Amino acid sequence: MTFTQMLTLAEAAAPIVIDGGLGSAAEDRGIDLDHALWSAELIRRDPDTLLEVHTAFVAAGARILTTASYQATPRGFADVGISHDEGHKI
């Protein structure tokens, strides 16, 4: 969604629904997020579950989805032994 599209939604009279708790929804599906990368590990380890969660949020009426990028930083990746190049691919 572009910034202009977000402004258009914000100016509308109706409330804007964002997604639910990404981490909680993943854990409800049996994913263990007890990892230094937290939800960013989900991108690498189980992208199908990430897609499933986001699809469920959209089906429930969400217009805005959050990303699984909380710890997806060069330093976060380096701290768990992921190279700069591999981190960039993730």
pLDDT (tens, 9 = 90+) of the chain, 90 residues, equals 788 987 887 787 677 788 888 989 999 999 998 989 888 888 888 999 999 999 999 999 998 888 888 889 999 999 999 999 998 888
The predicted model scores a pTM of: 0.76
Q: Which amino acid is at 63?
A: R
Residue with tokens 């964002």: 18
Which contacts of 79-87 are long-range, i.e. CB under 8 A and separated by 24 or more positions?
A: 79/36, 80/35, 80/36, 80/37
The predicted pLDDT at position 38 comes to: 87
Q: Which amino acid is at 12?
A: A
The predicted pLDDT at position 25 comes to: 94
